[in-house]
Copies of this chain bind each other. A is one copy, B any other.
Amino acid sequence: MRPTVVQSSLAKRAAVEFVATAVLLAAISGSGIMGERLASGNVAIALLANSIATGAILIALILAFGEVSGAHINPMVTLSNAARGSFPWSETPAYIAAQVIGAFSGIALANIMFGLPVLFASHHVRTGWPSWIAEIVATAGLITVIGCCVRWRPASTPFAVAAYVTAAYWFFPSTSFANPAVTLARSMTDTFSGIRPLDVPAFLASQFAGAAVATAFLEWLLHEN
């Protein structure tokens, strides 16, 4: 098992979390806009583009930045690692701040590039138990996949995470946000991938619940026989 904390300074690692989360959000949001514009109303084709682009950018980002910052790109990953003792609590606020600011920056970048307002609230309704259950399970699954891969096959983690996210778009009715920074930022784009600000808190709560379950499961699974 490689050390999660590599030798770069916290400033460099936080900068990398900022950049990676910004690019991820630009990819999620931008490919949603492009897909919807070109798909002639066939939503499945737009979602295919959206899910393939998101998975592909995750491969690139985690391969490029995994050895610098761990490429968490997700506050739930950072918190779960901290709770399990594999990431220092003292560095958690810097990571999460970088991720959240990066996420909004990425949404703004996509909006600007596609000629839209820099930030504008979404009207995309995403609420109700199906979505909340989906976010609980999707987040638990993501945290579990990451925890197991980092433990046993660290070099393959980028592919596992990307593949999980690409699939999760399709079998969770919420299309699987599974990331509070992503959720917050996507409330500020009234496009294909948006979420109404009103619906954000329940998504965040569901993601916390899912991450907590996964963290406990990993503790049980990975420690002692």
User: Taking beta carbons and an 8 Å cutoff, which residues of A are in contact with B?
Assistant: 7-9, 12, 15-16, 19, 23, 26-27, 29-31, 34-35, 38-57, 59-61, 63-68, 109-110, 112-115, 130, 133-134, 137, 141, 144-145, 148-149, 152-153, 155-164, 166-173, 220-221, 225
Question: A7 touching B59 by the CB < 8 A rule?
Answer: no
CB distance from A12 to the nearest CB of B (A): 6
Question: A56 touching B55 by the CB < 8 A rule?
Answer: yes
A173 to B160, CA, bound (A): 28
CB distance from A29 to the nearest CB of B (A): 7
Question: B221 touching A64 by the CB < 8 A rule?
Answer: no
Counting every copy of the chain, the complex holds 4
Question: Chain A's interface: helix, strand, loop or mixed, by majority?
Answer: helix
Contact with A46, one of B44, B68, B145, B149 (Cβ below 8 angstroms): B44
A78 to B20, CA, bound (A): 24
Question: B38 touching A40 by the CB < 8 A rule?
Answer: no
Contact with A40, one of B27, B41, B155 (Cβ below 8 angstroms): B41
A45 to B88, CA, bound (A): 45
Residues from chain B with Cβ under 8 Å of A53 in the complex: 166-167, 169-171
9 other A-B residue contacts (CB within 8 Å) besides A16-B221, A68-B152 = A29-B171, A35-B170, A38-B43, A44-B46, A48-B48, A53-B167, A57-B164, A63-B160, A113-B133
Contact with A49, one of B61, B145, B153, B170 (Cβ below 8 angstroms): B170
A32 to B177, CA, bound (A): 19
Residues from chain B with Cβ under 8 Å of A35 in the complex: 44, 170
Q: Provide 25 A-B residue pairs closer than 8 Å at the C-beta atoms, listed in order of the A residue.
A: A8-B221, A12-B220, A12-B221, A12-B225, A29-B171, A30-B173, A31-B171, A34-B173, A39-B42, A40-B42, A50-B170, A52-B170, A53-B167, A53-B171, A56-B166, A57-B167, A57-B168, A60-B145, A63-B156, A63-B157, A64-B148, A67-B152, A109-B137, A115-B130, A162-B163
Question: A164 touching B42 by the CB < 8 A rule?
Answer: no
Contact with A23, one of B15, B141, B163, B225 (Cβ below 8 angstroms): B141
